[in-house]
Structure formats: structure tokens, C-alpha cells
Structure 1
């Protein structure tokens, strides 16, 4: 069994450029229709497949821009969350939450890419046991066993 994110982008060609430049994704294949829209593209990101396509509203495929935002967040573990976030912002992303040390032992922050997709960029910096996490979180959350 496997799960592959499939993103819809208002400009899939520009999204491919962004993801390859900022996240060091590798383009595997691209299917472009007679109308110039990308019907399917496959990238490899962090060793895993990522699919994307242009908007095709005639079949219900709409991007976060068309929908007014996204309820989905993509988590990407990177060697340096600060540097990756800085590259993303330089390439047109916006910071939703700045990169800081999190209770779970990761240095992480959230960006919205130029296509409306939310990314949690994280770099593990320490191992945190479940007990340590409960102590750090305190009364803010109830953590199940």
C-alpha cells in the first residue's frame, strides 16, 4: 500500500520549477495536453513520488487559489528548515508560521507556496520521549498513549 499526494496548481509548470528549485525535487515525467495544460506530472521529493497537474475545472480539479485556500498541510523533513524556508520565501512563498524549535524536538515552520499549498518544513534536532513531550506540552494538549 502507498499514498501519493496529488496537487492541483494554478500554474503547474511554475510549481514544478518552484518544487525543483526550493525543495530539490526531481521531475520524472510531464504530460502536456494540446491546450498547453499539464494533465499529469510526477516529481520525486525526499525520495517519494509527488504528482501534480494544472487546474481542470471542467472535471472538478481546482487549486487552492480557486478554492480560497487549502485545508491540507504537507509535512516535509529537510536538512535545514531555516534555509529551506528562506529559499521558499525568496521564490515567492509566504511565511504562515516562522521556523522555531517545537515541543516535539523539531525546528519547524509553515509556509504557503505560491500555488496555495501549505508546507510544514521541519528538521529534527533532538529525540523527545513521550514523557518529555507530555511535560513540554503541559495542559495545552492531551496526548494519547
Structure 2
């Protein structure tokens, strides 16, 4: 369809206390590899990616509005990569979603924001706007 955004990827983002320990656990337990890791100057991981066979998922430290699981809580953020973030956000908002973080250029190569769907699930909608090296991303994050 003309004007429709194309989905390019979907993966869960697991929010944890102690991302580096979690990354070590997931890599060992699943026979995977940590392929991306970006941290703030204080060491908190703001984004990392684990690949194990055909799966990939992100891991980040709790904070910035993202709580780690407590009790029966299951904080997972769906990260949806698309070709037109504004179009997807508009459709979601039209269907009853609400804005958690507005869509914006975050400086690390993505135009992104976060919405809560009418059922309580969080969706990070991202559109790649600049291809950066991992070193450039870390420099901009830290």
C-alpha cells in the first residue's frame, strides 16, 4: 500500500536489575552472543542485544521509567522497527494508544518514541534515520 510503513523487525526488550550479569547468564544459558552493548558513564546498560541461533532480544538495566520485574510483574517492552514511525504511531494513537515518550530524534541513529497500547503493553516504535558505528552510538549515549 502506498504510504504504509513497513515493519523491519520486532524483538522484546527485557528490563533487569544488573544487565551485565543478565547478559552473561543469557549468553551462557542460551549459547548466545552479546552483539551490542551501550552504557551510560555510570555503567548502566541502556541497550544491548543478545543473539542465540535464530532469536534476538534486547536487555537493559532498570531505570528511566522502566522497572525490573518484581513479584509477578513482567516488564517487557516490544521494540518495533519500522520504515515510518510517524505513520505507525498515528495508527496506534487512533486506535486508543497513549504516548509515554514522544517520537523524537535521539541522536543515536533512531527516530523513536514509546506508546502504551489500550491493553497496557508498551511499544517502542523506531525508525532508523542514520547509520552509525557501535563506537559512534556509544559516544552519543555516554
Measured against the shorter chain, the TM-score band is 0.3 to 0.5
Report 1 or 2 for greater relative contact order, CA contacts < 8 Å, sequence distance ≥ 6.
2
TM-score, structure 2 as length reference: 0.47
TM-score, structure 1 as length reference: 0.46
